[in-house]
Amino acid sequence: MVPIRDEHHSFAEPTRPVGRRYVVWLIIAQFVFYVALLGPAIVGIGIKVQQIVPGTEKTSALGTVAGFGALFAVVGNVLFGRLSDRTMSRWGRRRPWIVAGTVVMTLALLVMALGRSVAVVTAGWCLAQLGANATLAPFIATLADQVPTFQRGSVSALLGIAQNVGILGGTYVAQRFQHQIVIMFVAPAVVSVGAMLVFAVVLPDQRLRIRPPPAPIKDWFWVNPLEHRDFALAWASRFLITLATYMFTTFRLYFLQDRVGLSPGAAPAAVTVGVLIYTVALIACGWIAGRISDRTGRRKILVAGSTLLFGAGTAALSHVTTLGQFYGVEAVLGVASGIYVGVDLALVIDVLPNPDDAGKDLGVFNIANALPQTVAPVLGAALLALASATNQNYTLLLYSAGAASLLGALVVLPIRKVK
């Protein structure tokens, strides 16, 4: 367990190598959890919405569901991260939230699967995002609690790989069970409850023994960007790259139908193959990038370079007209994302303001992941409709996403604390 500074009743930075059992179950739990969450998010919601709202109104309905859900993710991640920092349970700071949040997510996904209106699906997705982020905020905070600086690149790379393999698994489950919505939404979530329960048992969780002083409510959702400049720059970079990602992935299923010409029945399988290619490229690059970062101590150049490459690939999608071209660009995006996930989380943890508040600070940082999920569907739908009577202006959408990635690459360069 991480040592405690008695004079301040605060938790010190970890200095001892993290145990193998923790890493193994961290990766397994991350993988299973993302199968459960991202299968519905990437493909399942699109299929469900299309069953309820056929025709051209499907993109705006999808934007409504995804946008409101992401808003709840923003609030949930910060709130539950802060609550886990201050939890005095005899089971530790992180364990109770990790398990309970996964259970809530599972029940909410069942509501979505059974829903017969956009309103019910939206409500279910909002609750699912609350539960998911009640799990994710303390789950990711365990890296700051347990993993020393010299291992963060490698462990965060494995975590990023597990997440993206989980996304691949989720898209496969969604494609395999696209006509059995309840199985698609609920079965992987039930498995994720078991995986998170085992991880909670394995986790050498810190136990908070001294009640922290009351904090103003704004401090639960805020890190001063002037006092913590490096953290603010890392936040802005993540916001921009995540915005670029979701501006495309939210509408990827419809892109393959509208631009490449696939049928509604064939498009989910094409998404699965594309994510497979993307994930293979990501795995090939992610672990290597994390190891290079740990050995050299350099993180910024890898994050900035990978973000720039991702932006170029996203813009290139605007010229895609065949399935083969789509798969080729997915490979380029996978290389870029592999380098990015191998390094970026380690960079973020390195610039956290206070190890005592890792859950809250990572929750604030996760706003940069969740807020673009609110903005991207709405912005994307608006860009698709701009100067287009058929809501299909994918060229404008994809070039805008590429520009956001370019800005994300530039913003990371002025960070001082990390090389």
Give me the pLDDT at residue 6, please.
Answer: 38
* CB 233, CB 371: distance < 8 Å: no
3-state SS, residue 141: helix
The dihedral sign for the CA sequence 329, 273, 131, 89: negative
* pLDDT at residue 215, rounded to an integer: 65
Give yes or no for a contact between 157 and 298, defined as CB atoms under 8 angstroms apart: no
Name which of 203, 219, 218 is nearest 89 in CA terms.
203
* Torsion of Cα atoms, 328 then 332 then 334 then 337, to 10°: -160
pLDDT of residue 127: 94
Helices (H), 86-117: 95-114
Nearest to 184 by CA among 303, 44, 288, 322: 44
Tokens of 88: 């005095």
Rounded-to-integer distance, Cα 310 and Cα 304, Å: 10
Q: Chain centroid to CA 30: how far?
A: 11
DSSP letter at 340 equals H
Angle between helices 20-39 and 118-146 (to 10 degrees): 170
Give, in order, the Cα–Cα distances in Å from 246 to each of 263, 309, 315, 377: 22, 16, 14, 7
pTM across the whole model: 0.72
Rounded to 5°, angle at Cα 368 from 357 and 67: 125
**What's the CA gap between 237 and 343, in Å, rounded?**
13
Distance in angstroms (rounded) separating the CA atoms of residues 22 and 192: 17
What structural domains does the chain harbor? Answer: 16-205+225-412 (1.20.1250.20)
Residue tagged 């496969």 (tokens)? 172
Per-residue pLDDT tens digits of the chain, which is 419 residues long: 333 343 444 566 777 888 889 999 999 999 999 999 877 776 778 888 888 877 667 777 887 887 788 788 878 888 888 788 778 778 888 889 999 999 999 999 999 888 888 889 899 999 999 999 999 888 988 887 888 877 877 888 888 888 878 877 887 887 788 788 888 889 999 999 999 999 999 988 777 777 766 666 666 666 777 788 888 888 889 899 999 988 888 888 888 888 888 888 888 888 888 888 988 898 888 878 888 888 887 888 888 889 999 999 999 998 998 999 999 999 999 999 888 877 877 888 888 777 667 677 777 887 887 778 778 888 888 888 886 655 588 889 999 999 999 998 898 888 887 77
Instruction: Give pLDDT, residue 3.
Output: 39
